[in-house]
Amino acid sequence: KVLKEIRTRGDIILFIDEMHTLVGAGAAEGAIDAASILKPMLARGELQTIGATTLDEYRKHIEKDAALERRFAPIQVAAPDVPHTVAILRGLRDRYESHHRVSITDGALEAAARLSDRYISDRQLPDKAID
């Protein structure tokens, strides 16, 4: 039903986070995976899609499916630096203040960005500064 609506309207861009999970998703013996359902629509131009995944997952799953890979143009987006992360955090501040019923200072945002960049090595900005 969702795909039919997207095809009919024509003004929708579908965002798929963790796009690599489509490959093999829903496939059982004799069944078709989610990527195989989307490929014909992508090939006919009926579906505009942005997919997000890591470089490792792209290589592991998407590159191995030539028909799926052909329908996407990879764009590598680098993690933001500390000043850009502070700007992102400022954009999120109102929602977090409202949700948690607190006031967040610029100094707290700057410290979150700077300290998470320095001490958390297994994640990227801005995600690690937000948490």
Q: Whole-prediction pTM value? A: 0.74
Q: Are residues 41 and 98 in the same domain?
A: no
Residue that finishes a domain, picked among 70, 102, 121: 70
Q: Are residues 59 and 98 in the same domain?
A: no
pLDDT in single tens digits along all 131 residues of the chain: 888 898 889 899 999 999 998 887 666 655 578 888 899 999 999 999 999 999 999 999 999 999 999 999 999 999 999 999 999 999 999 999 999 999 999 999 999 999 999 999 999 999 999 99
Which residue in 41, 65, 45 sits closest to 53, CA to CA? 65
**CATH number of the domain residue 95 falls in:** 1.10.8.60
Cβ proximity of 52 and 93 under 8 Å: no
Which residue in 22, 124, 122, 6 sits closest to 69, CA to CA? 22
